[in-house]
C-alpha cells in the first residue's frame, strides 16, 4: 500500500539535497539563479524523479516511497500547471525556459507512471491519470519537433506517448464501465491510422477454389460525367426538415436499407424476420416461396452485363488478345491478398496454376481503409441462375465490412458496405437505416457460413460477434460481449449453427447461434492472446488454437477446459494456422519469428509432431492458407521483399517422408 503523502519522499529529498541534485524548478526563488551546487530545495516544489537504475527498484518494496492516487493526482496537476503557465508556448518553444520545463515535466510524469505500476493502480484511476498526461505529450510532440527543442528525444518521447496510449486503451477495453474522454479517443484513433503509414505487410490472404471465378471478368469503364459524380460524391443528401410522427419515429427522410445489388429492402419486424428466415435456414433448405419478394433473390439491377450501362467493355470473340490476358482458366486458383504498403491499402487478386506454375497479379482494388481481414463469399443472390458468386468481404479498422465482386475489374468502390455509419441530413437529423447496426470498433475477423450461405460472421474489437444476413444486407443477430476482442472466428465444417472463436483475452469458445443468450457450449481460457482458431475438418470434434505466446494447442469439444496436446511452436505470436484440405493431419503454422513449421497430427492420440521447419525470407509472417484444391500447396504472407510466397511442400523431403508412411 502506498503511504507517501508528499510529491517527493523525504528520503529522496534528503539524498538529493546532500548530493546537489536539485532541479532549478525545485529550488527556492532566492537560490535558483545561482550555480546548481548552491540550489536550496523548496520542499513544496520537490517532485520525485524517475528512477533509471535497475538497482533502485528495491525501493518500491517500501510503501513510504510510493505515492497513493490522491497524491499522484496532485503531482500531475502541479506538473501540468508548470507547463501550461507558458501562455505563448508556440513562441517560447525555442527558449531555454521551455526546454527546461519540458524536460522536468516529462521526467516527473514518467516517475508518476512508475509509481502507478509498482502499486498496481486500479483501472479507473489509471485512465484518469493517463487522460491528464496525454494532452501534454501530444502537444509537445509537435512543438518540440517543429522548434527543435534541445531536451526533446524523439524516440524517448514517442515511447512515452505510446506507453500512455497503450495503458489508457488497455484499461478502457478491459473495463466495461469506464467512459473514455472523447478527444483522447479521437487522438488515439488517428494515431493508430498514422502508424499504419509506416507498415508494409500482407494482413490476410485467402484462396478461391477452382471454377468459382468467372472465366472472362467484366470490366467497368466510366464516362466523364460518371467519373465526375464518383469524385464529387453520390446524390446530395435531402434538405427536407420533416417532423417526427406521433411515436417519435422519422418518416419521410428515412432511408430503406439496401440489398447487395442496391434494391430497396422492405422493412419488417426484426424478431419475426429472423425467426422466419434466418433460423430456418440453419435447419432446412429454404424454398423460393419462403424467401419471398423482399429478399435479395433476383434483385440484380440488370439481368445480363450487356444490359448494364456501367459494364461497358465486354470481351468477345473480336478481342482475343485481351481475352487471353484476363482469362481465368478452369484449372486456375485465385488468391485474394490484403496488402498494407505505407499508407496505401490494396486488395490484390493473384492467379495460380499448378500445372504451369503460373503466379501473377491479375487485378487489384484500391481500399480507403486498412484491411484487417478478408473472407471469400460465394453467395450472390443477384445471380438468379445459381445464387453463387465470387465475392470477398474485407474487415476494416473503421468498423465497416466492404464487399467486393472479384469478377468485376476496374471498379472504384465496393458494391456493398455492411455496418456503414449513419449520416446526418443537412437538416441535422440522422437517417435511420438498419444496415448501420453492427460493430462500434474495428472488424478483425470474418467467417462465411458455407452451409447457410446467406450468413457472414464478423468478430470485432468491440468484443461482439455479428451475424450478417447478406440477403437483407443487415445484422440478423448480435452475439454479446465475448470477454475480449474477437480476433478469430470459424464456422463448424458440418454443423451450420456452431461458431468457434478466440479473443485477445485468451478465451476460446464454441457458440451455438441458436442460443440467443450467447452462452458458450464449450469454453477454454489461456494466457496471452488467441491469434487463430481452426476446426480439424478430418475430425470436427477437435480444434487447433494458436496464441501470441508461441503456443499451439489441440482441443476436444467433448473435454472443455482441457488440452489434448499443447506445445511451444514459435518464438512469438503465431499469426498463421492452416490445415491441408486433402492430406489428413498436415498442419502448418507461421509466426513473427519468420519461421514456417510443418506438423503432423496423429489420429490415435491427438499429439502433434513437427516434421519440418524453415525460415522464410519475407520477414515476420502474419498469415498462411492451403490451396483448397491442391494437397500440399500453400501461400504465406509476410512483411518484406515480395511479401507473399507460394510454397509446395512436396519439395521438402522430410514432409514427403512423414506423410508417405
What domains are there in the chain, each with its CATH number?
10-198 (no CATH), 526-661 (2.130.10.10)
The pLDDT confidence band at residue 24, using thresholds 50, 70 and 90, is very high
Question: Residues 327, 317: contact at Cβ < 8 Å?
Answer: no
Q: Which of 520, 522, 523 is nearest to 506 (CA)?
A: 523
pLDDT of 1 > 90? The answer is no
Report the alpha-carbon distance of residue 555 to residue 525 in Å, rounded.
12
What is the biggest distance separating any 2 CA atoms in the chain, rounded to whole angstroms? Answer: 94
Pairing of the two strands 408-409 and 218-219: parallel
143-163 burial, b at 16+ Cβ within 10 Å, e below that, comes to: bbeebebebbeeeebeebbee
Q: Is 463 left (phi over 0), alpha (psi -120 to 50) or beta?
A: left
State residue 223 phi and psi, 5-degree precision. -80, 175
Q: Residues 612, 615, 619, CA angle at the centre, nearest 5°?
A: 145
In the prediction, which pLDDT does 244 show? 42
CA-to-CA separations, 498 to 168, 254, 487, 490, 530, in angstroms, rounded: 35, 36, 17, 9, 19
Mean pLDDT (the chain) is 83
pLDDT of 600 > 90? The answer is yes
Residue 297 grid coordinates: 433473390
In the prediction, which pLDDT does 196 show? 60
Report the alpha-carbon distance of residue 484 to residue 607 in Å, rounded.
29
In the prediction, which pLDDT does 232 show? 58
In the prediction, which pLDDT does 568 show? 96
Q: Which of 554, 568, 647 is nearest to 601 (CA)?
A: 554
pLDDT of 369 > 80? The answer is yes
Strand partners for 601: 608
pTM of the model: 0.64
User: Hunting for cell 470490366 — which residue is that?
Assistant: 219
Question: Residues 7, 104: contact at Cβ < 8 Å?
Answer: no
Contacts of 271 (CB under 8 A, 6+ apart): none
pLDDT tens, residue by residue, 351-364 = 999 998 899 999 99
The pLDDT confidence band at residue 195, using thresholds 50, 70 and 90, is low
User: Hunting for cell 508412411 — which residue is that?
Assistant: 661
The pLDDT confidence band at residue 324, using thresholds 50, 70 and 90, is confident
pLDDT of 644 > 60? The answer is yes
Q: Which of 470, 464, 563 is nearest to 518 (CA)?
A: 464
In the prediction, which pLDDT does 210 show? 96
The pLDDT confidence band at residue 274, using thresholds 50, 70 and 90, is very low
Residue 256 grid coordinates: 430503406
Amino acid at each position: 500500500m502506498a503511504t507517501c503523502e508528499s510529491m517527493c519522499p523525504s528520503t529522496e529529498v534528503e539524498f538529493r539535497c546532500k548530493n546537489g541534485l536539485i532541479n532549478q524548478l525545485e529550488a527556492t526563488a532566492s537560490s535558483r539563479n545561482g550555480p546548481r551546487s548552491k540550489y536550496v530545495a523548496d520542499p513544496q516544489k520537490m517532485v520525485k524523479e524517475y528512477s533509471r537504475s535497475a538497482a533502485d527498484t528495491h525501493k518500491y518494496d517500501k510503501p513510504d516511497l510510493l505515492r497513493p492516487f490522491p497524491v499522484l493526482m496532485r503531482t500531475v496537476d502541479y506538473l501540468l500547471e508548470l507547463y501550461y503557465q507558458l501562455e505563448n508556448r508556440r513562441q517560447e518553444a525555442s527558449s531555454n525556459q521551455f526546454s527546461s520545463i519540458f524536460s522536468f515535466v516529462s521526467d516527473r510524469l514518467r516517475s508518476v507512471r512508475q509509481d502507478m505500476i509498482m502499486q498496481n493502480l486500479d483501472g479507473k484511476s489509471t485512465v484518469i491519470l493517463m487522460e491528464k498526461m496525454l494532452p501534454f505529450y501530444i502537444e509537445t510532440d509537435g512543438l518540440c519537433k517543429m522548434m527543435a527543442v534541445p531536451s526533446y528525444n524523439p524516440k524517448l518521447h514517442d515511447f512515452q506517448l505510446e506507453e500512455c496510449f497503450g495503458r489508457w486503451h488497455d484499461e478502457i477495453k478491459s473495463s466495461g464501465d469506464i467512459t473514455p474522454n472523447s478527444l483522447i479517443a479521437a487522438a488515439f484513433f488517428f494515431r493508430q491510422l498514422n502508424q499504419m503509414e509506416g507498415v508494409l505487410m500482407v494482413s490476410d490472404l485467402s484462396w478461391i477454389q477452382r471454377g468459382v471465378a468467372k472465366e472472362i471478368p467484366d470490366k467497368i469503364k466510366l464516362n466523364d460525367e460518371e467519373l465526375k459524380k464518383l469524385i464529387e460524391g453520390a446524390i446530395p443528401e435531402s434538405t427536407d426538415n420533416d417532423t417526427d410522427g406521433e411515436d417519435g419515429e422519422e418518416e419521410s427522410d428515412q432511408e430503406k436499407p439496401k440489398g447487395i445489388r442496391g434494391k430497396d429492402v422492405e422493412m419488417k419486424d426484426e424478431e419475426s424476420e429472423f425467426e422466419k428466415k434466418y433460423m430456418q435456414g440453419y435447419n432446412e433448405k429454404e424454398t423460393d416461396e419462403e424467401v419471398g419478394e423482399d429478399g435479395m433473390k433476383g434483385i440484380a439491377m440488370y439481368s445480363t452485363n450487356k444490359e448494364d450501362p456501367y459494364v461497358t467493355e465486354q470481351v468477345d470473340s473480336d478481342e482475343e488478345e485481351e481475352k487471353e490476358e484476363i482469362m481465368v482458366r478452369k484449372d486456375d486458383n485465385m488468391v485474394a491478398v490484403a496488402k498494407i504498403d505505407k499508407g496505401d491499402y490494396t486488395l490484390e487478386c493473384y492467379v495460380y496454376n499448378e500445372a504451369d506454375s503460373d503466379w501473377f497479379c491479375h487485378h487489384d482494388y484500391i481500399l480507403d481503409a486498412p484491411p484487417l481481414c478478408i473472407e471469400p463469399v460465394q453467395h450472390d443472390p443477384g445471380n438468379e441462375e445459381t445464387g453463387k458468386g465470387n465475392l470477398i468481404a474485407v474487415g476494416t479498422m473503421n468498423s465497416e465490412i466492404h464487399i467486393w465482386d472479384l469478377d468485376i475489374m476496374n471498379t472504384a468502390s465496393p458494391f456493398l458496405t455492411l455496418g456503414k455509419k449513419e449520416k446526418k441530413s443537412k437538416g441535422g437529423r440522422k437517417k435511420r437505416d438498419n444496415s448501420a447496426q453492427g460493430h462500434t470498433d474495428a472488424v478483425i475477423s470474418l467467417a462465411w457460413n458455407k452451409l447457410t450461405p446467406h450468413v457472414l460472421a464478423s468478430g470485432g474489437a468491440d468484443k461482439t460477434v455479428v451475424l450478417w444476413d447478406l440477403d437483407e444486407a443487415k445484422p440478423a443477430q448480435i452475439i454479446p460481449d465475448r470477454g475480449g476482442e474477437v480476433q478469430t472466428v470459424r464456422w463448424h465444417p458440418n454443423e451450420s449453427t456452431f461458431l468457434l472463436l478466440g479473443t485477445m483475452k485468451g478465451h476460446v469458445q464454441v457458440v451455438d447461434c441458436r442460443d440467443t443468450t450467447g452462452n458458450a457450449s464449450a469454453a477454454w481460457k489461456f494466457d496471452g492472446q488467441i491469434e487463430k482458431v481452426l476446426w480439424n475438418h478430418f475430425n470436427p470434434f477437435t480444434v487447433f488454437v494458436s496464441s501470441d505466446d508461441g503456443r499451439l494447442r489441440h482441443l476436444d469439444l467433448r473435454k472443455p477446459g482441457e488440452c489434448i496436446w499443447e506445445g511451444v511452436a514459435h518464438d512469438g505470436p503465431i499469426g498463421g494456422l492452416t490445415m491441408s484440405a486433402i492430406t489428413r493431419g498436415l498442419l502448418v503454422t507461421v509466426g513473427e519469428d519468420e519461421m514456417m513449421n510443418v506438423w503432423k497430427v496423429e489420429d490415435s492420440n491427438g499429439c502433434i509432431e513437427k516434421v519440418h521447419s524453415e525460415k522464410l525470407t519475407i520477414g515476420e509472417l502474419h498469415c498462411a492458407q492451403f490451396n483448397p484444391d491442391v494437397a500440399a500447396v500453400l501461400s504465406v504472407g509476410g512483411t518484406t521483399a515480395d511479401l507473399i510466397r507460394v510454397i509446395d511442400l512436396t519439395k521438402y523431403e522430410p514432409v514427403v517422408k512423414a506423410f508417405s508412411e
